[in-house]
Chains A and B, each alone.
Chain A
Amino acid sequence: MPKDQPEIDLSPKVSDEVRKTTCYMCACRCGINVHMKDGEVAYIEGNKDHPVNQGVLCAKGSAGIMQHNAPSRLRAPMKRVGPRGSGEFEEITWDEALTIATNVLEPIRKEAPEKLAFFTGRDQSQSFTSLWAQGFGTPNYAAHGGFCSVNMAAAGIYTMGGAFWEFGQPDWDNTKMLMIFGVAEDHDSNPIKMGIGKIKGRGARVVGVNPIRTGYNAVADDWVGITPGTDGLFILSMIHELLKAGKIDLDYLAQFTNAPVLVNGDEKSEQFGLFLRDADGKPQVIDRRTGKLAPFDGQGVEPDLSATYRDAGVTHTPVMHMMAEKYLDPHYAPEAVAEATGISADRIRRMASDLARVAFDEAIEIKTPWTDFRGKKHASMIGRPVSFHAMRGISAHANGFQTCRALHVLQIMLGSVETPGGMRFKPPYPKPATAHPKPHYGVTPGQALDGPHLGFVHGPEDLCLKDDGSAARIDKAFTWENPMSSHGLMHMVISNAHAGDPYKIDTLFMYMANMSWNSSMNTGGVMEMLTDQYEDGSYVIPNIIYSDAYSSEMVAYADLILPDTTYLERHDCISLLDRPICEADAVADAIRWPVVEPDRDVKGFQSALCELGGRLGLPGFVNEDGSQKYKDYADYITNHIRRPGVGPLAGWRVGEDGLQGGRGDVNEAQIDAYIENGGFWVEHVPSEAQFYKPWNSAYQDWAVAKGFFDAVQPYIFQLYVEPMRKFQLAAEGHGDRQPPEYLRERIKETLDPLPIWYSSEDENKAEEYPVTALTQRPMAMYHSWGSQNAWLRQIHGHNPLYVPTKIWEENGFEDGDWARVTSPHGEITVPVAHQASLNANTIWTWNAIGKRKGAWALDEDVPEATKGFLLNHLIHELLPPKGDGLRWANSDPITGQAAWFDLKVRVEKAVAPAESQPVLPAIKSPVGKGPKGLKWKVGK
């Protein structure tokens, strides 16, 4: 070493201790190693053993330390002392807070439990919060799925028993071509990045279908800059091409889908379009061995894809025939859809041909024998190595459900679901819609609801309607307006409650949902609804209770605040009963635990609910003597029993021969076992059960042993979704339960049991507002949370409106210019930036960077508040009036999913204002402001 080169310590002590828990910087739920020094959080990195992230960690995850230390953290329970919306609060004790809540809620429960609307936002404890709501007895509970991605989830479950992300993933190790639709950087964050890295590492191909070329679409080998909202048309055109070329997996379709199931063709019958069933209700196919009818799942049955059946003058045709007829129609030809989709006919043909080539000419075979549910033995597993992923981009449109369905049908026709190289389900999925609960809404004052709130409907008889035909739920979920709204409609709760339609409520109780800002359409309107008063000065929505860990925009609009902890200070379970973190080849669940104790007077919201449940005497939350059953959430996690042998956590349960995974009795030391194991439990799917899970006897038996379900439940994929046909039949006049007249035509048109595509451009006045406006979530930010993070806000502190070359030049924009953006509902004036890699008729910005002055402990002149903005001001929960005297929801007519991405606008150059418009008055920060400088070193 030269004399000038100093000696440095190459092996400094890294930390005193590593505590392993689960990240909560987004919904991905990676394992993290939290390095502790002097009892404080010093450094966070990914956990190498964890099934989700295998050691890697994104920018948000690594910045967790700044979230944990954020000056915006709430410090104590608070009651409102100024007018609603002012942000004026007084800190109170927990006893006082819970007493106030009890005094509000107790009379409601006694008299009319439905007058409580309990909605949770980015909640990762829905199996717990829903149990609480069920115990309370209100039908008005849901989480945020209705304004997020219910179309994706519901279309997947109705079609094939699972969708993407938490339900399934590409077979990253075997796939040769990945096609992503409308995927920004979320859901699920690290696994997709890891997967794309893996695929590219071995030279396989990624195709990105997205109007915006950033992130994953920027590294995709091919970018298809599609016109927003036309993905379904593009997909159906590829199906058209594949059918025309006979490039479909006939063997797979015959064995594992309802393509061979016979459908009643008698137009006059009330059975028209329904499956031919036997006395046991089993859908019928023609068995190729006998040429006769047989139940689809009969032992040894070989379903015939083509044979029809004629009985008493009625022809029953297989679904396959109906699909051929529908999709070979020339209006799905590439030439016919090129203009609408913005993709040339040649490009559509090439994409279809690439899919066919990889699926069939580059098929793979894994030499693992398996036995299917009909008892047929298969010598190997044939793989169709094309895979897909999609999320909100195709889901948040009024045609989103049918578009998601179309994508699944494409996957299935290629034989690439649950086969090697295709898409693989993650335990406890696959699980068909019929294995999920139906929605419940039976209210009895003073008692629990008659069952779980959310679920899957299978016909008009399952809708949540009162005897007079009005909606049973405040959000009008499961009504004729949106019959298959499996996740509820959180985005309609406040406007319905304000309007008293379908009825008035007394208390709005919310958790982690920034409804007065980025989580609502019509943000300004929502603020007015939350603060609207009657002449006597009382609020139209009488009571609002809210729980959050941070000083979000929503805090100011509540009367009572229950302060939550940060994610490093709490217990949680990432449960198989809820939204699990499994991988395709493993079942897994995980916990959070307090790696540090809170230094403020806060508690985990779920623990607060345990106490509130005890005070209110809710069934499931009190012992027989009426005392509080669960001391806190950790106590619930350990001791709650959902079904015999099944609790919130599946790892280290007590069995006859010691501790075991899956079913078992309560283990008082279960959470310690998780901590010891790095915060998670994982068990691998047996090798013969890895693929073909819905039909594979080995998987079905394993799933029952693990407690995912109580009896084997093999099923076939539903290319044709019969429940949708039942709603159509009602609209055609059949049956006792009839839709209102004004909805008949729309139900007939949109609830087609085979995927269709329809435009909502006219409803959104595209003639006058010709440009689509979108948002994307940046990779380094999650919802509104990121801006309070001193590190992340340096990465995404601005959100200009990105404008494509055509619109840029038409308006003569230059750097530093501002634009006025007008929709049928409102107007904003915001800074613009040029982006060439963008669909020529689309503008976009980053989601939820814009902040309200006074929120998140930021100074009032921060760029997030002065130049940042929300598109939400331009979007209304109702469509513009169309002159029929009615107002139609800006939602998918099937599921009620908020159609965020149908937004149509006009763009024009504007004189630069001092700040982004509209400017809202500042709210008073209940936690003060953050420090000026930061030098965050914990260790010496």
Chain B
Amino acid sequence: MTQLPATTAKKLGLVIDLDTCVGCHACVVSCKGWNTENYGAPLSDQDAYGAKPSGTFLNRVHSYEVQPAQGEAQLIHFPKSCLHCEDAPCVTVCPTGASYKRVEDGIVLVNESDCIGCGLCAWACPYGARELDQEEGVMKKCTLCVDRIYNDNLPEEDRQPACVRTCPAGARHFGDLGDPESDVSVLVAERGGFDLMPEQGTKPVNKYLPPRPKDAEPEIDILAPFLDPVVPEAKGFLGWLDNALSSMPGAK
């Protein structure tokens, strides 16, 4: 049983815009690349060129089809990684203290040297956001690129998680969700950002922005047709054309 800090100085997290995520998996692979080479054990792959390839990923994109009561079906792309919950059940369940939440910024991390790979944390996480690395036998999860965001060896503009830096559609935002004035908090307020599965009581720090309404039905006003016809057929068009031209500058 591991303790969560009573408060954290910051609540760093991601804001993911479901209105613009095109489901390209750029964040998934960028994360895999950075975290294979950096914090902790590499993210291994089993049967990489065989029948059942399976590897460790800290971030995955799922696509769900939604059928609204009216109108066309929609496809929503849904990237998912650790949400760095304020009440993180994965931390409190950890028998060795390997899982912890940082007091400075709220990032949930695994201290791999203390991890025994028991898997209790993955079982406790309602989001399925943790993966046990099969090669190393330790639990892997999103670190919010803790080794990037403060890294003096990176240019300041690059001190953000790899998934945010790479997202082509600009659908991922990073910042302090504990500060109501921060860009990410403003975005959440403006766009109606929401918690994933709030009923679980985990108080996730990461937020999702909902897709905007789609396929708006045309507002049909029988008194105002979409386009006012000025001509019924080709002959009429030429008359209209001559009229229109005669009112343009330079007309004789």
Contact = CB atoms under 8 A, between A and B. Distances in A.
Interface of A: 1-2, 4-6, 8-14, 35, 37, 42-46, 48, 53, 55-63, 65, 71, 185, 189-190, 193-194, 196-198, 200-201, 213-216, 218-223, 225, 241-247, 250-251, 254, 288-289, 291, 302, 304-306, 320-321, 324-325, 328-330, 346-347, 349-350, 352-353, 356, 779-780, 788, 790-795, 797, 835-838, 857-859, 861-863, 866, 929-939
B57 to A, nearest CB: 8
Given A10-B146, A324-B238, A790-B49, A194 B170 contact: yes
B252 A246 contact: no
Contacts of B32: 62-63, 791
11 contacts: A4-B3, A35-B37, A43-B33, A58-B25, A62-B166, A63-B33, A213-B75, A219-B20, A788-B49, A792-B29, A837-B72
A349 B241 contact: no
A8 B5 CA distance: 18
A14 B162 CA distance: 13
Specify which of B24, B44, B152 lies most central, judged by the most chain A CB atoms within 10 Å of its CB: B24
Interface string B169-191: 11100000000000000000000
A55 B165 contact: yes
B22 A219 contact: yes
A367 B244 CA distance: 26
A859 B25 contact: no
Contacts of B250: 288-289, 302
A2 B103 CA distance: 8
Contacts of A866: 51
B38 interface: yes
Nearest to A220: B214
Contact of A933 (B45, B226, B233): B45
B124 interface: no
B216 to A, nearest CB: 7
Contact of A321 (B75, B166, B238): B238
A6 B104 CA distance: 12
B72 A225 contact: yes
Specify which of B46, B49, B111, B171 lies most central, judged by the most chain A CB atoms within 10 Å of its CB: B49
Given A45-B30, A200-B19, A329-B234, 18 more contacts: A4-B2, A5-B103, A11-B150, A12-B153, A43-B33, A43-B37, A44-B33, A56-B166, A57-B166, A185-B22, A197-B171, A214-B75, A219-B21, A790-B48, A837-B75, A861-B51, A930-B48, A937-B42
Nearest to B31: A62
A213 B111 contact: no
Contact of B252 (A53, A193, A288, A930): A288
A324 B238 CA distance: 8
Interface in B109-146: 109, 111, 113-114, 135-136, 146
A92 to B, nearest CB: 26
Contacts of A793: 53
A769 to B, nearest CB: 25
A779 B65 contact: no
Interface string B225-252: 1111111111001101110110010111
B100 interface: yes
Interface string B10-31: 0000000001111111101110
Nearest to B133: A935
B186 to A, nearest CB: 14
Contacts of A863: 51
Nearest to A214: B75
B207 interface: no
B16 to A, nearest CB: 13
Nearest to A57: B166
B200 interface: no
A405 to B, nearest CB: 20
A244 B234 CA distance: 9
Contact of A56 (B135, B157, B167): B167
B92 interface: no
Given A11-B152, A197-B171, A223 B214 contact: yes
B162 A244 contact: no
Contact of B25 (A59, A857, A939): A59
The 8 A-B residue pairs with the shortest CB-CB distance in the complex, in nearest-first order: A930-B49, A353-B226, A193-B168, A836-B73, A245-B227, A197-B170, A197-B169, A779-B24
Given A8-B146, A56-B26, A244 B19 contact: no
Contact of A215 (B3, B22, B225): B22
Contacts of B171: 197
Contacts of A9: 147
Contact of B162 (A45, A213, A245): A45
A797 B226 CA distance: 46
Contacts of A324: 234, 237-238, 241
Contact of B36 (A193, A194, A937): A937
Contacts of A46: 165-166
A634 to B, nearest CB: 28
B197 interface: no
A59 B44 contact: no
B47 interface: yes
Interface string B50-83: 1101110100000101010000111111000000
B252 A218 contact: no
Contacts of B26: 56-59, 61-62
Contact of B46 (A222, A933, A939): A933
Nearest to B61: A795
Nearest to B170: A197
Contacts of B150: 10-11
B102 interface: yes
B123 to A, nearest CB: 22
Contacts of A243: 231, 237
A302 B214 CA distance: 45
B34 interface: yes
Contacts of A60: 29
Given A324-B237, A795-B25, A62 B30 contact: yes
Specify which of A218, A251, A863 lies most central, judged by the most chain B CB atoms within 10 Å of its CB: A218
A47 to B, nearest CB: 11
A196 B36 contact: no
Contact of B227 (A55, A65, A244): A244
B231 A350 contact: no
Nearest to A288: B250
